[in-house]
Structure 1
């Protein structure tokens, strides 16, 4: 953003070394020119001699600097940065801070911090507009309305930050309270958060009485106002749907909303969904810039929180994988290594070929374990690209890569699978190897479509999986075959999960194992 065609001039005051410098965040933005100083005294000297559009106070004595700036420059936008763990939002805002941010060491706050600086300057612009109206229309009702709106804006901003910084509330509780607050701020009946996946629109959370705008309700995206929100560059606002050409639109026919304002929510730079406020009745005036900024601030907070949740989930998954790897290294690899050592010692004494063969088998098992581990470590749940594939063609190609001995494979045509081809091949290869390992060299494997649902099966005529073990076969380390790695079917489940498929095991007509993959 820019003011009067020039870059926004930011004075950044920071004396907390080793905690990450927010000045770098703003300095990376083309719309900002940043001057950095290390202490309050230097900052006050620079303010006396130069003009700035915003001050960022990131110092240990935060209130001392804030009070000094407010004494001399009461209208200058000021962003107060608090240390991690210091919950002083209310006091900072009451003492005159325009905006507030608390440091958090467990996340990247770049986008949120830039938004805080932007919103502080935008609100200064709005204050300037009021000053112009005072001069030109001091007796006009518009001034009274705008002045009242600005006072309301300050009140609701303080409420927003109190909710967002309340550590005693869960994320879901905060989200619900912010939806209620936004509905109150905009004087509308409905507030909701949506998740958009492809062409499907799903309401994640909602407040208000509209029967179709409730949590867990889904609809085609094409029949919602949110399709327009995702297409527009900024917010989408509709003050009077009938007069603005929405009659006959499927969204208006379905929901009957007379007014609407919606913002996009991004998570890690990918569209997650929308934040929206609406009412059946039209508004008698347009949504103001301050009202739109308020909606944007809530959407930015939602983005920030969603990203933290995603990061925490990824960290938990990473820790789980590390535990798996540690288990394999400490236990699964140790067993064949000990076997190899024992038989190598025996072979050195006896010279027996059978003893050397046991050493080779132990080494082969270790190699297979290492290959499976490397595949999990390098690829995890990542999908390179999901496209449509003819299952019979993928089966034929996979079969060539498996040591099949005298085993045979029969596959039905006409099954199309939307998948990452390489990961689909890995899934099939592991199922084929499982059948051969358990069913013997002459096992017969069949592949075909599921009845009544989208998906496919892979079954064999081997001994099958005992019913009391079917829930365990997909667990890491579980194997019923001597020398098995216990990772093959765990990898099958991970690949299925990455595609949002479900995989289960039952019994084939011949009494063998039947694995079903349902889309």
Structure 2
């Protein structure tokens, strides 16, 4: 008999089977035979779907066997509920109500298999085999999914290769290192990611070890999909005779930094200045050749000795300035010190100490000292170093007199998408256009002939990916012994600042336009209302004058409503959604006073749009067509016309206008069979002051344009097939 799991020892290969059947005697019998058929099966029973769902929610179920026809909820409803949270869990429908219809319904709902109850015990053998097979497959696929997720989450590039050396699968990190996609690299041979000579070297070095069941780790030069090369560390391991796993890490940056460190070390040793690193006790930890020579000794003899400079600093000061430097209480220590040096006699040295920070912690100090024999040269050198230090947080570059890069920092390389080695030695035209280069030349000429040694100009940088970045370059001259040697520049990205300036200018223009419209268009109807009220007070036909005053105030209300529609930033679309165009048009028709006008909707398109703003656009177009339709008797529109931002509150009756909404290849149109718009006026129909009606506000099509452009659509006016007006919207995204 099937029982719930106990607290005893759990077999690793145990299969937890949940059998749901409203017949407890059959469920117990089936459980007994299933556990006899396969000792791995541990069967639990549930007499209803509700109890079964509670057990599934607890977790740990490997497979479900369920009856079809049960009171309350059927086995298919049970299956559909399980599939919401467990799309891959094995689920077998085991029922006595067998038919093709039931089987089709089960498989359509996501059943793993369908089995009809029969007489005898052979059915339990078949059922037990199905359960174990499906669970083993389920567990294998689950483990593969787990491994795939782990593979994708890894920072290293991981790839699986088959026995022929072809990529079976790679994670995103591996594809990114190769600058391609997993789909592009799958199926290719491993040699495609290496130069020919490197591939032959790996065959000779790595594969003999792999053939013996061992693993191999080493470094190689890789080839990316774009043809560029890079340094990588490779780890290979055999997969039980079924191929190999390959783990790759891009070490190009590590190698670049190592080369840079050696270059800097060589540069420091070549400097005609004393450079050293002090440890926290004030001992020489590292010295350059010039410092050792200046002391008349060797680097090996000097390193590890206490510095007389640090000792004097501590003795002559009330506090300990060196310890304050190490504790982060000072940014630097600088000054002058005199002393006797072998071969140099009494020499005055200018020194500067700065903290040595490694991994965010101070581990000593860097000292630079030079003999004060040429103060002018010292000052110029200090200015150059200070400019580089000031620029260290921003993209910085140095150009020679021919406009070629002699130095770029990592920030500039990262921002432009190039390697430093790709830029250094190249002309500035690699990043700048000729017009900006000429502006830079004019600035340099003015600095060389003026009193200032630095200035600023705007320019555009074109990155390796083709992106254009608007920048502000702060340029300073590099002059040594009165000779111009080039320039150093700090770059600031001002793209966002320029965008904000343009946005502010646009808003100011918009505000000025609204101010003009309010002051101009509202003045006339307000004057009319005021005059009519004066006449009504004098008793001169009060009813007629009050009607005219009310009409004038209604026009003011319509003007204010349309101005508000424009003022709420019609060019901002914040909530796009899938909107059925037919539904939007029909809703619009119900909200607009259309008189005897008729509507033809010839579209079934669904577009991506802000539902309320699209509704407003359509209402304005319908009102515009009704207002300017065939000549007839006019009637007053409903009060809510202003609320919907209408162009006018007048509609037509008499000769009824026909309005048609239809599809375009990449959008839709709204057309009518009215009198149309003269060719001479089509260029300004979307202006806020355009109207051919004495009662119109002139803002209707302006609002239409604002809403369309806010969606990123293009809007144009043309003649309809019936000689009327046709407004076309293109660039519309279909849902």
> Between Structure 1 and Structure 2, which shows a larger proportion of strand residues?
2
> Between Structure 1 and Structure 2, which shows a larger proportion of helix residues?
1
TM-score normalised according to structure 2 size: 0.35
